[in-house]
Chains A and B, each alone.
Chain A
Amino acid sequence: MLSKSAARTFFLVGTGLCATAFILLTLDTISRVPKQSHEENLTPAVHRGKDLWDSNNCMGCHTLLGEGAYYAPELTRVYDRRGPEFISAMLRDPAAMYPGQRQMTKYGFNEAQIADLVAFFQWIGNIDLNGFPPSPVLASSAAPPIAGAAGGPPDDGRPRVFGQICVACHTVAGRGGNVGPVLDGVGDRRDAAYLNRWLHDPGAVKRGALMPKLPLTEAQIAELITYLSTLRARQVTP
């Protein structure tokens, strides 16, 4: 039967070996992380963005690299998923972007700070995370494919900006957010002139409209009008 001194030896030797291995692996990790995380792109703006991220405890609601709280979206790939315009608009006034939804604090960042945070998200988005976050494997069986989250070419002719910004609130062909109305068949309901006015300033078309005035360029608006006009009820998206 095991004696007390044998048990103590097991404890001391086991702990010693594991601790040594852990310290050696840590040294190796320290030497490899700069390459894997592309530290060469870690500009002062990224650093300032991280400081803002920390000093406002963004992790208290969001997750980043899968770490944080589970009250607000995972932001590791947000730069690709939503694009800098959306992120900036969100940081300027969260309530305007998601009216009546789960609330985010309006921090009152200035434009320089917003640019820093965007730079931070862009840098985070390029870290090699050993395959995280995985792409949704069941997406194709549930509904027609959507614009690739990684920014790949959209399959149904939708502009990139639609896949980044509009889907946050609107659904097309069963995919997208549920904050705003479904856009299937919007091409039947609205003509190009109306869409044009609406996209420039929703509040000017309909008083009290929930949709915010988005930071869209003229080229993006033109793209969106063309795309939205093709969304007709009788046309079945493949």
Chain B
Amino acid sequence: MKYNSQRVAWWFFATCMLLFSLQIIYGFIMAFAHVGLDGLHPWIPFNAARATHTNLLVVWLLAGFMGAAYFIIPEESQRELEWPRLAYVQLAALVIVGVTAIIGFHLNWWEGRKFLEIPRPLDFLVVIDVLLFIANIGMTLWKSERKTTTALVLFFGLLMAALLYLPGMIPTANQTMDSYWRWWVVHLWVEGVWELIMGAILSYLLIKLTGVDREIIEKWLYVIVGLTFLSGILGTGHHYYFIGTPRYWLMIGGTFSALEPLAFLGMAWYGISMAKRGGRAHPNRTALSWTVGCSVLSFVGAGFLGFAHTIPQVNLWTHGTLITAMHGHMAFWGAYGMIVLAVISYTLPLLTGRRLYDAPSATFAFWASNIGMISMTLAFAVAGVTQVVLERRVGMEFLQVQTEIQVHFWGLILAASLFTLGITAFIWNFIQHGKPVGELDTSRDAVEPAVASAPVVAAPSGAE
């Protein structure tokens, strides 16, 4: 940690840990409801649990991205945050809005649009909050003489994420158009600008952890985000097959979304090859595990499993079944959950001054949560395929099919328990690190070689 204002990142990450735990609890409520144990139904009906589960995910990922940006931007632009106090206010506001929304869900107060359930008045508060955040990192970057590609990609990813929240508020009485605009937000976030954010964080971590030259890493960052938008923007069409929009979306969406795995394949290749090239010099191997793991699992979850049901002929049968839940879980975990945990693993020792990355809990957290999530995905896959065959192909009644696939939800609960153990270990490790009291390190990161284009802060070499 080189700048005082970077400390605020810790508070964002602590928020992540809290909201993530809550998200897992709501996941279990839903899994148990699926096997018939729905005793909480009068207080937490399934739709409330579901809205809470997905919205907590969005909020903790956003909190993670913001925390990452508050850490990365000062470091990349080599100056303190423009308004350090505003960052704390903005975090508090985000938490208050999030908690209000979640309480609202339990009182049947929501918009009822998948992933955008937050009630309309709170939508505006979210936008204002995100704009404050953008202004803060934007000004920090603007006033700096050092504008790195990594920092710019991160900034524009976050700015576009804020702007793309707006189409979701376009009023319409037509369910088809309602869906149409909803995917402008949801798809263009997760298969568009969020990948920009992810790519930028990945680049930052690879620069720091592998010691490969910045120019090389940032060149490939451009290629990867280029591939992302080349496939991802028109790939939105894979949500427009069967909602009442023109038939040409079948062809356009099918073609371009089939290319989407390329960006993720690039990401995986990027992570692995840079890690190899750098010879893994950095002592924080846990952070490197999360970083490379993220690039690989995002390809499996978002790229491969997404591709598996994006072809219109397949999607005709799998659209609206648990197959989507299969893809969704590993995609969000691999691409976004893991990048946030990677950046936390990397920054925590720097923020707190304690190096616990070799602790058994850190290693256990990585393996248990990943094996757990892969097993969860398999459970969803078996349940989903069975549902597709029995309900869609054979034409059995919905509830009858649900009884048939109940056993796979016990499998899901088992796998989710392993996942939860892993995350518990991660949070334990987080708590062990303590508060952000780490001393400022005025030297350049020992691993990163000097970059010709950037002014180097002259200082004697010290600890990393």
The reply to whether the CB of A194 lies closer than 8 angstroms to some CB of chain B is no
> Which listed residue, A130, A138, A167, A168, touches B393 by the CB 8 Å rule?
A138
The reply to whether the CB of A204 lies closer than 8 angstroms to some CB of chain B is no
CA–CA, A219 and B185, complex, Å: 50
Asked, given contacts A37-B174, A74-B398, whether A59 binds B219 with beta carbons under 8 Å apart, the answer is: no
CA–CA, A3 and B222, complex, Å: 11
Nearest B residue to A51 by beta-carbon distance? B173
Q: Is the CB of B242 within 8 A of A36?
A: no
Asked, given contacts A56-B108, A65-B179, A138-B393, whether A132 binds B316 with beta carbons under 8 Å apart, the answer is: yes
> Which listed residue, A29, A47, A59, A168, touches B113 by the CB 8 Å rule?
A59
Within 8 A of A (CB), among B171-229: 173-180, 215, 218-220, 222-223, 225-227, 229
A168 → B minimal CB distance (Å) = 7
Kindly list chain B residues whose C-beta atoms are within 8 Å of the C-beta of A26.
180
Q: Is the CB of A176 within 8 A of B397?
A: yes
Nearest A residue to B325 by beta-carbon distance? A70
A109 → B minimal CB distance (Å) = 13
Q: Is the CB of B234 within 8 A of A21?
A: yes
Asked, given contacts A66-B319, A102-B38, A130-B247, whether A4 binds B219 with beta carbons under 8 Å apart, the answer is: yes
Q: Interface digits, A100-142 against B, CB 8 Å rule (1 contact, 0 not)?
A: 0111010000000000000000001001111111111111001
Q: Is the CB of A66 within 8 A of B397?
A: no
Q: Interface digits, A26-47 against B, CB 8 Å rule (1 contact, 0 not)?
A: 1011101110110100100011
Kindly list chain A residues whose C-beta atoms are within 8 Å of the C-beta of B242.
65-66, 129-133
Nearest B residue to A21 by beta-carbon distance? B234
The reply to whether the CB of B63 lies closer than 8 angstroms to some CB of chain A is no
Q: Max chain A CB contacts within 10 Å: which of B38, B242, B402? A: B242
CA–CA, A128 and B247, complex, Å: 10
CA–CA, A73 and B34, complex, Å: 13
A103 → B minimal CB distance (Å) = 5
The reply to whether the CB of A150 lies closer than 8 angstroms to some CB of chain B is no
> Which listed residue, A14, A21, A60, A167, touches B46 by the CB 8 Å rule?
A60
Asked, given contacts A66-B320, A102-B399, whether A18 binds B234 with beta carbons under 8 Å apart, the answer is: yes
CA–CA, A30 and B104, complex, Å: 33
B250 → A minimal CB distance (Å) = 6
Kindly list chain B residues whose C-beta atoms are within 8 Å of the C-beta of A124.
175
Chain B binding site: helix, strand, loop or mixed by DSSP? helix
Q: Is the CB of B246 within 8 A of A32?
A: yes
> Which listed residue, A4, A42, A131, A142, touches B173 by the CB 8 Å rule?
A42
Within 8 A of A (CB), among B150-184: 173-180
Nearest B residue to A54 by beta-carbon distance? B112
Nearest B residue to A1 by beta-carbon distance? B219
B1 → A minimal CB distance (Å) = 29
Q: Interface digits, B226-241 against A, CB 8 Å rule (1 contact, 0 not)?
A: 1101100110110011
Within 8 A of A (CB), among B39-81: 41, 45-48, 50-51
CA–CA, A68 and B389, complex, Å: 20
The reply to whether the CB of B285 lies closer than 8 angstroms to some CB of chain A is no
Q: Is the CB of A136 within 8 A of B394?
A: yes
The reply to whether the CB of B443 lies closer than 8 angstroms to some CB of chain A is no
Q: Is the CB of B50 within 8 A of A178?
A: no
Asked, given contacts A58-B112, A71-B50, whether A7 binds B117 with beta carbons under 8 Å apart, the answer is: no
The reply to whether the CB of A8 lies closer than 8 angstroms to some CB of chain B is yes
Q: Is the CB of A33 within 8 A of B51?
A: no
Kindly list chain B residues whose C-beta atoms are within 8 Å of the C-beta of A131.
242, 316
Q: Interface digits, A1-22 against B, CB 8 Å rule (1 contact, 0 not)?
A: 0111001101100110011011
Asked, given contacts A60-B112, A138-B394, whether A36 binds B246 with beta carbons under 8 Å apart, the answer is: yes
Q: Is the CB of A22 within 8 A of B236?
A: yes
Q: Is the CB of B399 within 8 A of A15?
A: no
Q: Is the CB of B398 within 8 A of A69?
A: no
Asked, given contacts A8-B222, A71-B33, whether A57 binds B47 with beta carbons under 8 Å apart, the answer is: yes
Q: Report 20 cross-chain contacts, Cβ distance below 8 Å, ordered by A residue.
A: A7-B219, A7-B223, A33-B176, A34-B174, A36-B176, A53-B112, A55-B108, A57-B51, A59-B114, A60-B45, A60-B50, A61-B46, A64-B175, A65-B243, A69-B46, A70-B322, A102-B38, A129-B243, A129-B244, A135-B395
10 smallest CB-CB distances across A and B, nearest first, come from: A60-B47, A136-B395, A66-B320, A132-B242, A11-B226, A57-B112, A7-B222, A54-B112, A66-B319, A15-B229
